[in-house]
Structure 1
């Protein structure tokens, strides 16, 4: 494990100024490879900051892009039900805005002399897991993508088109290796969607892995969440690090 330093940084995304939480390994012998992290629908939580720092401790420069920068760093708060909260959070970080924000985060990393953005990956959680897949379809700048419990199909209420937005329909066009992680007891993501996503990913010709953890629910990697599943989280972390090191 390496010593790290972390701080908020800002960078442009189109006409807007976006912030991100950046953690760097200290005294690295050479500029480290980079990981752009896409957060869940809760935004950049304290837990997400700690995971950013954990990746830096493993030797990666990690930037978690705040996809809610334009609205104060939090998802919309004007909701009355849990379903409404999630729908508004997803709509506020829709693909058309969030993927360019992730790209802008990578641009920021590429402008720095202390990291090596020519070796780049994306890691995403829930909302961010779906964005990781969407980005991997659109760019050749990523060496690999690791989505954790990204929704294979966004419900119509979560989509700006008012129709289901499917990651499955585009997964055969990912341009980099993908390692995906899902809970076998996820109350949000049906296992048949996971299976169909895995089949579609195989058609890409890229190295792809889909791991399903028995008994783990949605958000199982988050040790502050009621669904935290320690064994699934440990194995996911080990596999993620191995995958990142293999491709970066």
Structure 2
């Protein structure tokens, strides 16, 4: 899936509304069905818009360069106990910078696990918590995962990710330099982590995420690299006010807007994936983490 299939922009917009709880599945499918008059089949449209995680493995789970496991952590203000996917370089002989990986609004799916493996392959210790752990974990499909996550108390989810960030930062393999990268809901969580505890992150990379509440934005200290998609009206509408706040409070930030892309363009499991821009954003992310984390170890 190197290029977007030529389907109407409104279909991507409907999917975004559906994926973020603004449209139910029945309405979404009905609207897609209305495109049949333009010559699109439902099979074609659903395969283009809905994820296929067979495509989302750039680093194998049994790659000899990494070691993966699952770790639990205490989250007394959240759901009591959290759990996540922990990946480290196989031959780590010194303390390493650590990166928290935050999933979308549907739990720890295979794409997010692969992102964690990519980071470990690049020399970081990565940890990807599952917000759905208290409900049994990611159920294996996004529809159920999305419904499960929306049923949880949002404040408790936020506390879980704060607890996960502290757990990772203090891990025996950690150099104490903590970064965070997240996608969609995860992008929001990166912005939130940077704002809620100013000294928690050393660097944050939100992909198409909304900002933390305006009452928290003045607390941000961590440098941010913000990735936005051109065709993402919901998230992009929040950027002007966020930019003003970051500028007003002296936050070091970069914002990259990727021409022609859709919300979710980094996710290689759907036709929203834009290979060239996803790879560019990822290389920028790794360079940013290297500058802010790896080169500032104590």
Do the two structures share a fold, i.e. TM-score over 0.5? yes
- Report the aligned-residue RMSD: 2.5
**Where does residue 179 of structure 1 map in the other structure?**
225
Contact 2:264 2:272 in 1 (8 A): yes
- Cα distance in 1 between the residues matched to 2:264 and 2:66: 26
- Cα distance in 2 between the residues matched to 1:17 and 1:143: 25
Highest RCO, 1 vs 2 (Cα 8 Å, sep ≥ 6): 2
**Corresponding position: 1:42 with 2:106:** yes
Contact 1:39 1:124 in 2 (8 A): yes
Gapped regions of structure 1 (runs ≥ 5): 153-165
Gapped regions of structure 2 (runs ≥ 5): 1-58, 294-298
Structure 1 or 2: larger helix share?
2
Structure 1 residue corresponding to 2:189, chosen from 105, 110, 131: 131
**Where does residue 163 of structure 1 map in the other structure?**
none
Contact 2:87 2:117 in 1 (8 A): yes
Deviation at 1:86, TM superposition (A): 5.7
Aligned to 1:175, what secondary structure does the other structure show?
A: coil
**Where does residue 202 of structure 1 map in the other structure?**
247
* Count of residue pairs the alignment pairs up: 226
**Where does residue 265 of structure 2 map in the other structure?**
220
Please give the TM-score of this superposition, normalised by the length of structure 1: 0.82
Please give the TM-score of this superposition, normalised by the length of structure 2: 0.69
- Cα distance in 2 between the residues matched to 1:215 and 1:193: 19
**Corresponding position: 1:97 with 2:156:** yes
Distance 1:196 1:58, change over 3 A: same
Structure with bigger gyration radius = 2
**Corresponding position: 1:243 with 2:288:** yes
Contact 2:132 2:148 in 1 (8 A): no
Contact 1:188 1:218 in 2 (8 A): no
Distance 1:87 1:202, change over 3 A: farther
Aligned to 1:184, what secondary structure does the other structure show?
A: strand
Deviation at 1:192, TM superposition (A): 3.6
**Corresponding position: 1:122 with 2:168:** no
Q: Deviations along 1:35-63, whole A, 9 cap, x unmatched?
A: 11111012111111111000011111010
**Where does residue 146 of structure 1 map in the other structure?**
205
